[in-house]
Structure 1
Amino acid sequence: MAVAAPPVLLRPLPPPKSAVVPMPPAVLPAAGLAGVAGALVLPVDRPGVGWLLSGLAVAAAVFLADRRSRAAGEPGPFTWRSAGWAVLALALLAVGAVRASGWLFVLCVLAAVVTGSLAVVGERTVNSVLYDMLALPVEAFRAIPWVGRGAGRFTARRDGVARRIALAVLAAAAIVGVFVPLLASADAAFAAVVDALIPELGVATLVRWCTVFAAVTLVVAGACYFLAAPPQRASADRPHRSRYGLEWTVPLTVLVLVFSVFVGVRLVVLFGGTEYVLRTSGLTAAQYARGGFWQLCAVTVLTLAIVAAALRWAPDATRADRLRQRVLLGTLSALTLVLVGSALSRMGTYQQAYGFTVLRLLVEVCELWFGAVFVCVLASLVKLRSAWLPRAAIGTAAAALFVLAVLDPERLIADANLDRAAAGKTLDDHYLAGFSADVVPVVSARLPEPLRTCVLRQVLRNDTPDGWPAWNLSRSAARDVTLGPVAGCG
């Protein structure tokens, strides 16, 4: 006799957070005002001071909206760490007001998104580090239905607040639309100010304004959406691990021995063995450096991954486990720092022989960052607490990028290549001409005519006037440089 199977009870899925958490009234006006500010001042096609102003508008909108949304006396989520991340994000956006290099500013904007996300997230969450890094763009998309429901409730309020705000905005727009053109036609100086502040309207301008308005509004709304119901915070305490001690000890010991032998060989080369190595290998110094740099970079990356895995999964239940972890990982990190120094030395030799480029400079900065991360690893071994390491690595990377921007990388590269040329080596003027206005002072001061004018004309060939939101120090200073005759340019 067949027995009927018991019915399967399906647990209903929980409703999305956007349906459970109501949108505070302060979010919509704060996000809208930040969106308007971004649409008016953000120069999407070039670095400029408007990027910093837009970042300040976003930061102020998020802070004020969250503060207005909390009950009196309720503590906010922002700490001094959040302030530090926010200041770093704004500093990266401020690079656009000083440096004209496009590739540099793209990296700064990406880093500002990451540091801005960490400023909103605050303490570590139970989610992955990748989520914490990208919380702003992720929550911006997830906040769309939340904003839609909140806007519907806002416009449906019986007291007519939405209608009054709309009428006020329309009345102000009508006054500006009538009086500004009349006053501009009455005075040429006022007309010049209006032309500088208000760009010529067209389909492309309106599309750009709408796109930037939507993006900035959603970023602010996403940050407020996250703060309205943040995910659970990660616990600082982790259970001790007791398994796989042998499986971790043997490979780490072998790796330490291999690194020790390599470092020993490098010390022999350092103290007088270089000529022997070059003679027996049949290579020049530049070829020798070129052949080993990328391998050392790969070794550094792989070692960092192994150290991170060991900190995460290697046993630490007993005092012997912790001592073994400190000795092996500490020795491995110290030896890796020697490898980082060796890689940097090889890259220096390689660049002296073949020239300085953006890619080679970025790789050097990456190697220096690896060294900083291994120093942080050594610091974490004191108490065997590594939960802070991922954010320390992100912070040092963003700080290294900001320091690179302060040092003006294109100027450094141009100066180094001109020093090589002064020493009798070949100068790639075509590569130099592909840089931004950041190199104009160096080229103007150090290149002889007619090569100076030829390079400067190529650097400034696509230069167009900036509106005030796109004002940039390098481009503004470059326009004051006097060019010579065109004759002699190839």
Structure 2
Amino acid sequence: MAEFQAEPAAPVRTATLWAVLATGVLSMLLLGDGLAVNLLLVAIPAALAAYFAAEAAGRRPRLWTLTWAIGGLALLIVPALRDADWPSFLAGVTAVALGSLALHGGRTWPAVLLGPIGVLNALVTGPTWGWRGLRERSGGGRGKLGVGLRALVVTAILLLVFGALFASADAAFADLLSDLVPDVSVSGVPKHVLLLVLGLAGSLAVAHTAAAPLRWDRVQVPAGRPRGRFEWALPLIVLTVLFAAFNAVQLAVLVGGYDTVLEKTDQTYAQYARQGFWQLLLVTLLTVLVIVFALRWAPRDGARDRTLVRGVLGTLCALALVVVASAVRRMDMYVGEYGLTRLRISVVAVELWLGLVIVLIMAAGVWGARWLPRAVAATAAAGVLAFGLMSPDAVIAERNVQRYADTGRFDLDYARDLSADAVPALDKLAEPLRSCALQSLADQLGEDASPWYATSWGEARARDILRDRPPSKGADWSVCADLGESTAYR
């Protein structure tokens, strides 16, 4: 990767080393009990280390750099708010991707897609760079950094000794310390040491990448060989006609009603919706790929070719948006029949995002595609953030509770598998169904609570609700079995 390497990294600043140390210490103290707001607390000093290193290298933050950095930190709010693991994991992965964009910069597709590789490469070079800077500044224990480290050690010893004495002298003070200070027991020393090392190595990798990023914009993607107008246009025009025919049928179904279609196809309402959605989702994805390859091989000899490309692909994109709307409508029909699940809400979100990508491609055909890679990445990150903030498990529970109120049908087994984010919605159910749905969650949350920094707001709110209105221990489980129906996976 030498051809993509920027100039050698500037010497590490003292401020960078302090930020790296803070990241390592916070990782050691906060990350051993789960992930919530502690992830954001650890990321902030790591971001500061990157800022100080970039400043020493003469890099100034630009608008897109700030956008990626702020977006990455904002995504880490999701684990602090939501108890469900799956949106938090998605937000964490996306935050890493945005962080790599902030560190490397770049506006091309290779820069957007290959950024995380540069951070992995810095896991080797970053610690070496940091150790060299540490030795230069320690001055054999006489430098400012050596003085600072000695002061930290003395401070830690004093806090440990006098804190332990005060805690043993007063039970209330001991309880306060147990809530505020992480429990670092002897048995947990290996884990904490590992977290310290990972925090130091990770923050040094981030800082080194900011000081000397790989220039992925230099990757040259060979242009596709332009095709003749007939060879290029004929397949796409035929595909466009097929799209138009399908959309015409959808319009006819919408006007004539679904009952006529179901009678002719010998399908149930739910079968018609379920059968169509997955195919239409695949159609949307394949349409995006077709457009990408069509642009690569599009004729480009002059104004007439540009007009042809815009006309054919613009029409195909517009018809693809109708397909997106049809797919979303079919899933709405299916959810109305069988309820909302994590899989269903996830694929609808992906379908909507693919529709947005098609709109961006249409806009690029009018105003140019230079901004398209970063716009696609930004919309993906914004979608993940919105998905996490809306609390998918809470939305699922609310929709299914409303469905129960309308139809009297409720998937009790699926409700029991939801996270604590669903508790406020499930709390609205009438007894004994409420107790049946919440009992398993109450048992899970009744275990020893995690420290404040590893407890999400969703979990804390669920604990408050269940403490004020605990599930009935004497719930009639046979009644719940009759009320609930296992239809989540139909």
Kindly provide the amino acid, as one letter, of the partner of residue 355 in structure 2.
G
- Aligned equivalents of 1:341 and 1:484: distance in 2? 41
CA deviations 1:372-426 (Å, max 9, x no partner) are 111101110003x323223222211221122122222111111111222222343
Is the 1:311–1:386 Cα contact (8 Å) retained in structure 2?
Answer: no
Match of 1:416 among 390, 396, 399: 399
Does 2:472 match 1:472?
no
My pick for the range that moved more, 218-227 or 112-121, is 218-227
Distance 1:58 1:162, change over 3 A: closer
Is the 1:347–1:364 Cα contact (8 Å) retained in structure 2?
Answer: yes
Alignment match, 1:488: 475
Aligned residue runs from structure 1 range 260-299, under 5 A: 260-272=244-256, 274-299=258-283
Does 2:309 match 1:309?
no
Distance 1:236 1:327, change over 3 A: farther
Distance 1:126 1:222, change over 3 A: farther
Distance 1:185 1:33, change over 3 A: same
Is the 1:143–1:222 Cα contact (8 Å) retained in structure 2?
Answer: yes
Q: CA deviation at 1:320?
A: 1.4
SS of the residue 1:381 aligns to: helix
Is the 1:18–1:145 Cα contact (8 Å) retained in structure 2?
Answer: no
Unaligned runs of 5+ in 1: 1-12
Is the 1:38–1:57 Cα contact (8 Å) retained in structure 2?
Answer: no
Q: CA deviation at 1:367?
A: 0.6
Distance 1:480 1:326, change over 3 A: same
Is the 1:410–1:439 Cα contact (8 Å) retained in structure 2?
Answer: yes
Alignment match, 1:7: none
Alignment match, 1:31: 20
Alignment match, 1:4: none
Alignment match, 2:390: 407
Aligned residue runs from structure 1 range 315-326, under 5 A: 315-326=299-310
Alignment match, 1:456: 438
Match of 1:382 among 361, 366, 375: 366
CA deviations 1:162-189 (Å, max 9, x no partner) are 5434432322222122211112222333
Distance 1:239 1:134, change over 3 A: closer
My pick for the range that moved more, 145-154 or 206-215, is 145-154
Aligned residue runs from structure 1 range 17-28, under 5 A: 21=9, 23-26=11-14, 27-28=16-17
Is the 1:125–1:132 Cα contact (8 Å) retained in structure 2?
Answer: no
Alignment match, 1:428: 411
CA deviations 1:127-180 (Å, max 9, x no partner) are 453212554345335534434444455556685455434432322222122211
- Aligned equivalents of 1:381 and 1:349: distance in 2? 34
Aligned residues: 470
Alignment match, 2:483: none
- Aligned equivalents of 1:158 and 1:172: distance in 2? 17
CA deviations 1:177-215 (Å, max 9, x no partner) are 221111222233322221112233235633333333333
Kindly provide the amino acid, as one letter, of the partner of residue 361 in structure 1.
I
Q: CA deviation at 1:54?
A: 1.8
Is the 1:41–1:469 Cα contact (8 Å) retained in structure 2?
Answer: yes
Q: CA deviation at 1:281?
A: 0.8
TM-score, normalised with respect to structure 2: 0.87
Distance 1:128 1:179, change over 3 A: same
SS of the residue 2:444 aligns to: coil
Kindly provide the amino acid, as one letter, of the partner of residue 430 in structure 1.
D
Q: CA deviation at 1:238?
A: 9.9
Is the 2:68–2:102 Cα contact (8 Å) retained in structure 1?
Answer: yes
Q: CA deviation at 1:335?
A: 0.6
Is the 1:196–1:467 Cα contact (8 Å) retained in structure 2?
Answer: yes
Is the 1:356–1:416 Cα contact (8 Å) retained in structure 2?
Answer: yes
- Aligned equivalents of 1:157 and 1:316: distance in 2? 66
Does 2:330 match 1:346?
yes
Kindly provide the amino acid, as one letter, of the partner of residue 40 in structure 1.
L
My pick for the range that moved more, 26-35 or 241-250, is 241-250
Does 2:109 match 1:121?
no
Kindly provide the amino acid, as one letter, of the partner of residue 42 in structure 2.
S
Q: CA deviation at 1:276?
A: 2.8
- Aligned equivalents of 2:383 and 2:3: distance in 1? 43
Is the 1:240–1:317 Cα contact (8 Å) retained in structure 2?
Answer: no
- Aligned equivalents of 2:5 and 2:322: distance in 1? 50
- Aligned equivalents of 1:370 and 1:164: distance in 2? 56
SS of the residue 1:124 aligns to: coil
My pick for the range that moved more, 126-135 or 395-404, is 126-135
Alignment match, 2:167: 184
Kindly provide the amino acid, as one letter, of the partner of residue 65 in structure 1.
A
Alignment match, 1:231: 214
- Aligned equivalents of 1:249 and 1:204: distance in 2? 69
SS of the residue 1:461 aligns to: helix
Answer 1 or 2: which has greater helix percent. Answer: 2
- Aligned equivalents of 2:476 and 2:402: distance in 1? 22
Is the 1:297–1:343 Cα contact (8 Å) retained in structure 2?
Answer: yes
- Aligned equivalents of 2:292 and 2:119: distance in 1? 26
Distance 1:484 1:300, change over 3 A: closer
SS of the residue 1:485 aligns to: coil
- Aligned equivalents of 1:19 and 1:398: distance in 2? 30
- Aligned equivalents of 1:470 and 1:114: distance in 2? 23
Q: CA deviation at 1:427?
A: 1.0
Match of 1:221 among 195, 204, 226: 204
Aligned residue runs from structure 1 range 138-153, under 5 A: 138-153=121-136
- Aligned equivalents of 1:210 and 1:17: distance in 2? 32
